Amino acid sequence: MSIAKTYTPADVEAKWYQRWQEQGFFKAKANPRKKPYTVVIPPPNVTGVLHMGHMLNNTIQDVLVRRARMQGKEACWVPGTDHASIATEAKVVALLKEQGIEKKDLTREQFLEHAFAWKEKYGGIILEQLKQLGASCDWDRTRFTMEPELTEAVLRVFVDLHQKGLVYRGIRMVNWDPLGQTALSDEEVIPKDVMAKMYHLKYEVVSSEYVDSAQEQGEKSQYSIPNTQYLTVATSRPETIMADVAVAVNPNDPRYTHLHGAKVRIPLLNREIPVILDEYVSIDFGTGALKVTPAHDLNDYELGVKHNLPVIDILNNDGSLNEKAVLYVGQDRFAARRNIVKDLEEAGHLVKVEEYASIVQTSERTKAVIEPRLSLQWFLKMEHLAKPALEVVENDTVKLHPAKFKNTYRVWMENVRDWCISRQLWWGQQIPAYYLPDGTYVVALTAEEALIQAREQSGNADLQLTDLRQDEDVLDTWFSSWLWPISVFDGFKDPDNADVNYFYPTNDLVTGPDILFFWVARMIMAGLEYRKEVPFRNVYLTGIVRDAQGRKMSKQLGNSPDPLDLIKQFGADGVRTGMLFSAPAGNDLLYDEKLVEQGRNFSNKLWNAFRLIKGWEVDAALPFPNEKAVEWFSAKLNATIAELDEHFEKFRMSDALMTVYKLVWDDFCSEYLEMIKPAYQAPIDPETLRLTTVFLETLLKLLHPFMPFITEEIWHELKERGPKEYVCVAAWPKVQPVANSAEVLARMERALGIVGGVRTIRNQKGLGPNKPLTLAAKTDDAQLLTDYDGIIRKLAALTDVSVVTEAPAASVGFVAGSSEFFVPLEGQIDLGAEKERLSKELEYAQGFRDSVLKKLANEKFVANAKPDLVERERQKLADAEAKITALEQSLAAL
RNA sequence: GGGAGAUUAGCUCAGCUGGUUCAGAGCAUCUGCCUUACAAGCAGAGGGUCACUGGUUCGAACCCAGUAUCUCCCACCA
């Protein structure tokens, strides 16, 4: 038979994925005899494509799910997509524009038709891509946040929250995205550091009550005496002066006491506005005078309310100036700014321009600069929902991994503000509020129900459906995704159905910290509000995938590899393990192709271990010579399984992978297989083959969650399997205690230490790996040499191992444990070098002994330290002294 | 401006309640090897004042205080 020397993933991956699906391994059904294990996918944007972040995130989920499945749980991973209202609508608008169609020329229905067509065409590509990664989702459960059932869930919740008095409508200063032309929630706004310009503008003072009080106290003032004819204000937004309704100064500012009660004239416009006094104004920032523009700044709005000022809104939805501005009407805000600066300068109103570091708020989705804007929006009160949601994280009912995110979570929850849930878009769930002709409104699940309510509310029994007008706005996307863990099991339509009762609460959620508030926190709120139970127990927060230089991956930089290309090149298993090698929870992953290369190499290593075993011929007559090797590997394997389980419990995925990686590569391949490997083309005894096959099968099981494809391939190539016998559903190995495990491991470690010593000498002396050598040991543990004789001779390529009392002449030595070993080497001995080596060794041992002595001589140590610790120190001292004696003798013998 | 976390080998990170294994792992580097499972490999080696300064303790990478640097989160100074 011949097996390919290198593993070629492309040949087998699609095959196994299909088989698993045919077998229905990924399907989950409520099964009272099994424990449920549930994960809901963070639904990717329906029109999105797979990027590296998805790869990391979904690999982690798949590892968790596959392991749970093998542990005999009813593993249920629910896939699906998100309608992503702003992002998708923006994409559709852009696409239509390319076709020469403007959104404003379409009706809502026509637009939605286009949007759904787009969704049908491109939607769900990402889910197909996930299959190539090996994601073991229950595809029959695939959901979409805007499908009819989930939309109904959203509407039900809206109606319910409205009935509870938690949803309200109000005029508030909201974050307006002039590009998306919609309001955004506070969480969708990203502050960006910029260098901005501060314009100092002169406003002419026009007051009859002018009193020059500043002049009198001028000498005492730390501030320069202002121009009495003008008041200078500092602003970063000169184009909004047309919306000014006042100029505010601090009442305690001595520079401006003469202006108390005065009026000033807006430049260019010449409209008069009052000077108001408010301690909100900082004396030492800017000029100490603040222009008040209630329509376009939150603080100004609050000042306006406090001082009873009018509101002048000079902006259109798209960020251009409207006729209320009088000047620059129709120009975009930034164009208007450029123009007005020029005009102000010409008119002599521009005193100076300063550069200063500032922050602009931008839209997370469209990147547009946010315009604070007063508008009528729907809000959800958060206080009632946030309180219990904070509590369950504080008391670890929901555990965040890593736990440091608890702090972030707490701060946000304690300061949470009401959630603006309306969006001025079409792609999404239209708000089920219906306006009556009299301007009042009702909220109901359907138009028909709304009509009944409306008739009652208005006392007008003749109202018709056509008299009602439904709110134009849709709900924030997150208003559907916060219900996801419940809605995917139809928990709103049918709150007592078998699925939701069985699979909810889910177990683990894997997502990025960037949506901790958007999504995670709100799911916890919804879960507690609607099921009285948290939606999940553990939240694993991944990092961001960056490039090797730590930059975020982006299309512009071109530093983001195509995940599907990577899978083609390195295999899904290689990519999965590559991503996981260096991805502790919460840490950013610096992606480097070397990582997936390492993953690919690991696949190949495993493949070749299989090739070796598969290639052996059996001779039934041979005795079993590998008791020590088998005993040791059993112990090692079981110790490692325990370690692995612990890593999983703590969600240390990288550590878990590294643990199996080393078990396979170092312990199994480098040590165990080398110990039992028959000579070239020699047959193997049946018992060793049987046991080794079992070992390999166990390793395949441990590896399967990480590397599903290659493990399944080898599983089936290794021997004939029953029709349902897949590693995918094999039982996860349990720790089986091995007698004297610690001692077995320790003794083999010492034996391997001897092997290492001989190999080091081979390397140092340039002897090559196979030159026959002998070994002489000065040791008080001759039994070790007897027990491990075969292993030591084989791995170190020795023809003979003997016990001696004196160092043989002309030999090179090394120390392992407290014993000394010698390799006789005719004519290759450098006496000087040997002396130097021994002296160094001796010096180190003496230093070590002295430090232990010092410790033991310290009365306080002996008195305060734990007794067994002191005992150990005494043992260390004895060992060190024995070693020193041996070294001194050897040195004297030279 | 407020808060949280971090700083350990060239890189990415472990290091649990201070005390065997306390200075580790993987990758990278260097030196030998095409030794018939694997050169996508084998064998071996060299890398660190545990950010800095003090303190507590018999004993500190670990506890405390301060300093520096970095990251993240929150925040309305025009």
Q: CA A31 → C1' B51, Å?
A: 55
A670, closest nucleotide (Cα–C1'): B42
pLDDT value for A106: 95
The one-letter amino acid code at A860 reads: K
Q: Which SS3 state, helix, strand or coil, does residue A855 take?
A: helix
pLDDT averaged over chain A? 90
A584, closest nucleotide (Cα–C1'): B13
pLDDT value for A228: 56
Q: What average pLDDT does this structure show over A9-32?
A: 96
Q: How many whole angstroms separate alpha carbon A625 and alpha carbon A151?
A: 68
pTM: 0.91
pLDDT value for A485: 98
**Which tens digit of pLDDT belongs to each residue from A695-753?**
999 999 999 999 999 999 999 999 999 999 999 999 999 999 888 888 999 999 999 99
Q: How many whole angstroms separate alpha carbon A236 and alpha carbon A355?
A: 10
* HSE (side-chain half, CA atoms, 13 Å) at A729: 18
Residues 160-219 of A with CB under 7 A from strand B: 186-187, 191
Q: CA A403 → C1' B6, Å?
A: 14
Q: Which SS3 state, helix, strand or coil, does residue A469 take?
A: strand
A360, closest nucleotide (Cα–C1'): B76
**Which tens digit of pLDDT belongs to each residue from A485-495?**
999 999 999 99
pLDDT value for A219: 39
Q: CA A509 → C1' B2, Å?
A: 30
The DSSP-derived string for A30-69 is: --TTS-EEEEE--PPBTT----HHHHHHHHHHHHHHHHHH
Q: How many whole angstroms separate alpha carbon A707 and alpha carbon A43?
A: 24
- The Cα-based distances of A685 to A299, A632, A672 in angstroms read 85, 18, 15
Report if CB A774 to strand B is under 7 Å.
no
Report if CB A252 to strand B is under 7 Å.
no
DSSP state of A770: S
pLDDT value for A210: 44
Report if CB A864 to strand B is under 7 Å.
yes
pLDDT value for A619: 96
Q: Is A54 exposed, middle or buried (0-12, 13-18, 19+ CB in 10 A)?
A: buried
**Which tens digit of pLDDT belongs to each residue from A611-659?**
999 999 999 999 999 999 999 999 999 999 999 999 999 999 999 999 9
Closest CA to A508 of A480, A485, A483: A485
Closest CA to A120 of A46, A60, A21: A46
Q: What average pLDDT does this structure show over A599-604?
A: 96
Is residue A89 within 8 A of residue A153, CB to CB? The reply is no
Q: How many whole angstroms separate alpha carbon A189 and alpha carbon A403?
A: 26
pLDDT higher than threshold 80 for residue A827: no
Q: What percent of chain A has pLDDT over 70?
A: 97
Q: How many whole angstroms separate alpha carbon A663 and alpha carbon A665?
A: 6
Torsion A646-A648-A651-A652 (CA) sign: positive
Is residue A206 within 8 A of residue A263, CB to CB? The reply is yes
Q: How many whole angstroms separate alpha carbon A75 and alpha carbon A732?
A: 13
**Which tens digit of pLDDT belongs to each residue from A413-447?**
988 889 999 999 999 999 999 999 999 999 999 99
pLDDT value for A584: 79
Q: Locate all alpha helices (DSSP H) within A136-237, ordered by sequence.
A: 148-163, 213-217
Q: How many whole angstroms separate alpha carbon A499 and alpha carbon A491?
A: 8
Is residue A325 within 8 A of residue A242, CB to CB? The reply is yes
**Which tens digit of pLDDT belongs to each residue from A829-843?**
677 777 777 787 787
Instruction: ipTM value, please give it.
Output: 0.95
Confidence label for A218 from pLDDT (cuts 50, 70 and 90): very low
Strand B bases near protein CB (under 7 Å) are: 2-5, 11-14, 19-21, 25-28, 31-33, 35-45, 57-59, 72-78
Closest CA to A471 of A424, A518, A508: A424
Q: What average pLDDT does this structure show over A7-31?
A: 96
Q: What average pLDDT does this structure show over A867-876?
A: 78
Residues 542-581 of A with CB under 7 A from strand B: 550, 581
Q: CA A893 → C1' B58, Å?
A: 41
The one-letter amino acid code at A682 reads: A
pLDDT value for A828: 66
pLDDT value for A535: 97
Protein residue at shortest CA distance from C1' of B12: A582
